[in-house]
Chain A
Amino acid sequence: MTAALSSRSLRAKSARARLQPFILGVISVVLLAVLWELYKFAGPADGLTIGETRVLPRTTDLAMPHVWDMIARLGGPLTGSSTAIPLWLAVLKAAGMSLGIAAIGWSLGLIVGFALAVLMQRFRIAESAVLPLVILSQTVPLIALAPVVRVWGSRLEFGSFEWESWMSVAVIASYLAFFPIAVGALRGLQSPDTIHEELMRSYAAGWWKTLVYLRLPASVPYLLPALGLGAANAVIGTIVAEVSTGLSGGIGRMILDFSNFASSDPAKPWAPIFGAILLGLVAAGLVSLLGLALGRYRRAEVSR
């Protein structure tokens, strides 16, 4: 009886503990809205300028629509046409498409990043040859990369396979995603203690068995944050690449299109920005679900 009781109270406690970050998240969003409205109410209409530089934004309805106006706008129609779908649905659809592309880019980045990490772990010479290139790759501006990927992609032909422009976007997203994954996975694969490596050696376990039984599980605590960073990078990469390759249907293009309404319908451009934030949150959430699933490999991280 007491045992049942204590286990129930324990469960209630853990449920509360699990809800806590969610509640804190909601509070912080509300706080942000309150701050926004406070500044809009108290701030100078023309913002604050020091010399030529404006250091605080204007508080007019054009520059900073009311929070409730922005929310209300989400419920309104996409266009003036009578058959238009609600704006929130259009934003969700666009975010969904971008999420799909980002997920493909992330998966591609995971495969490439992990393969590179395994290669670098296996051959020290590969580490000194590849790692600088990996770091160098991240200094190439995305804007410069986008047209190149699109042009190369359009020249690819394997039988009936045809390169579509969303694939260019996915490739660019993966280009950003693979970097943190490669670096994190390498650190993880190199993380086992000498004692564990010697133990595997004493078992006459070869490289492959050592990888599967020791290095892969040991890499999880390093890999998870890297996967989170990779997901964030994939989302950003997708949105920017949508803009620079001109792919329509995603959230990136929507941000660009809606910015035209800044003066006529000032609440509308904010809708796809909320969509992009939602996209980032969903991506981060999915990765942390992965972390829950791999919980037992994180014991070292928890206990040491």
Chain B
Amino acid sequence: MNQLNPTIPGIPAVDVSGVSRVFSTKRGEVTALDGIDLTIAPGEFVSLIGPSGCGKSTLLRLIADLDQPTTGSINVFGTPAGIARQNQKYGIAFQQAGLLPWRTVTGNIALPLELHGVGKTARTQRVSELIEMVGLTEFAGSYPDQLSGGMQQRVAIARSLAEKPELLLMDEPFGALDEMTRERMQAELLRIAAESKAAVVFVTHSIPEAVFLSDRVVVMSPRPGRITGVVPVSLSRSASSDAEALREDTAFFASVTAVREELHGESSGASARGVDLR
């Protein structure tokens, strides 16, 4: 997965081609996304990064079929995004945990399974697996208002994994967390993504977060939202390497610098295209 240009065997997890999204507002039309092409391989971890208003969340919402593109097409595992949603091809987590306050941790994680008619025995087993995976066994019977923000977010991530999706869509899921919780959650997410072999599309505005997590970082610029560059990250994320060491690795800093230059290069204009992507 660390090649410069990941070759995609068979059907890509996400295939975005020629997508634009124009919002009509009272003050005229706003182009949120323009000319977006992006292909994500199965099992690949891709971050979308850019300043506010660059359309990274909009792009994620289009992939999730929570919104429709004005032009272009989006395929998820070879089917249009709408059908992929109907077929439950992805799990999603937002910046807010979005737990139902009247359901316990168990009930919240079980929600998608209940909605899709998974039998009680299978459900109970899957939910307890997930609760263990996110380390909330003691809190299985707690209600969301009894949990900290980090715990709530872990429940939301467990919920997004409930149906073993091959694609995870995450919209700044750690944005509201403090730095320490955030780093721990990032390490957990890496482990979970590796275990579940799911492709991940991860929206963030933190450079270190994007670099730490991703195989590729997609850099976007605002007005109109465009992809200005793609930075491949090659960190040696073997199972044994611990997160702390990884964050202090020289390759980590090199990638952070590359993403930063890509982001800033855009704002200074002409030199953007010339950034060396290795």
Contacts and interface: CB of A to CB of B under 8 A. Distances in A.
Decide whether A and B assemble into one complex.
Answer: yes
Interface of A: 193, 195-196, 198-199, 201-205, 209, 213-214, 217, 220, 296-297, 299-300, 302-304
B102 A296 contact: yes
Nearest to A210: B115
Contact of A213 (B64, B66, B85, B115): B115
14 contacts: A196-B100, A198-B94, A199-B94, A199-B98, A202-B85, A203-B88, A203-B115, A213-B114, A217-B100, A217-B102, A299-B144, A299-B145, A304-B101, A304-B145
A299 B145 CA distance: 8
Interface string B184-223: 0000000000000000000000000000000000000000
Nearest to B64: A202
Contacts of B115: 203, 205, 209, 213
Q: Which 5 A-B pairs have the closest CB atoms?
A: A303-B145, A300-B101, A195-B98, A299-B101, A297-B102
B86 interface: yes
Contacts of A209: 115
A196 B94 CA distance: 10
B112 interface: yes
Contacts of B253: none
Nearest to B98: A195
Contacts of A196: 98, 100
Contacts of B144: 299
A204 B115 CA distance: 9
Among B101, B143, B144, the most chain A Cβ lie within 10 Å of the Cβ of: B101
A195 B96 contact: yes
Contacts of B114: 213
Nearest to B67: A198
A199 B92 contact: yes
Given A202-B90, A203-B115, A303-B145, A193 B102 contact: no
Nearest to B93: A199
B37 to A, nearest CB: 24
Contacts of B94: 195, 198-199
A214 B66 contact: no
A203 B112 contact: yes
Given A193-B98, A195-B96, 14 more contacts: A196-B98, A196-B100, A198-B66, A199-B98, A202-B64, A202-B66, A202-B92, A203-B111, A203-B112, A205-B115, A213-B114, A296-B102, A297-B102, A303-B101
Interface in B19-36: none
B278 interface: no
Nearest to B143: A299
A299 B112 contact: no
Among A193, A195, A214, the most chain B Cβ lie within 10 Å of the Cβ of: A195
Contacts of A201: 66, 85
Nearest to B91: A202
Interface in B80-123: 85-88, 90, 92, 94, 96, 98, 100-102, 111-112, 114-116
Contacts of B92: 199, 202
A122 B106 CA distance: 30
A214 B112 CA distance: 12
A193 B100 CA distance: 10
